[in-house]
Amino acid sequence: MFLAHVICTGIPEAVGADAAARVVAEFANHGSWSQNVSCEWDGLQLTVTAESESDNSHSDVTHQLLACLGALVCGAPLTVQYDITET
């Protein structure tokens, strides 16, 4: 099992809280490979945590997060940091 922590900065404050809710919904509806997904907006950054059986390279979580955010933050320069740990 792998635990992914993905932090995304550069999201406009006006859409941050909505983005967090949409990310959780996106993972619930289309992220069958991940479980225990949480997403929090602290006013500056979006933090996503998810467990996965196979995502030891972060690509699945990060790809799905960026696909979801793309429609919300068109043109905003995003920075993504990630950390994967095996549990």
Please, what are the averages of pLDDT over each run of 10 residues along the chain (87 residues)?
A: 84 87 85 82 91 67 75 71 68
Please answer whether residues 8 and 78 qualify as being in contact, where contact means their C-beta atoms are separated by less than 8 angstroms. yes
pLDDT score of 45 = 92
Q: Which of 87, 41, 18, 33 shows the shortest CA–CA distance to 64?
A: 33
The structural domain count of the chain equals 1
Please answer whether residues 19 and 32 qualify as being in contact, where contact means their C-beta atoms are separated by less than 8 angstroms. no
pLDDT score of 66 = 75
What is the domain range of residue 25?
A: 2-86
CATH code where residue 70 lies: 3.30.70.100
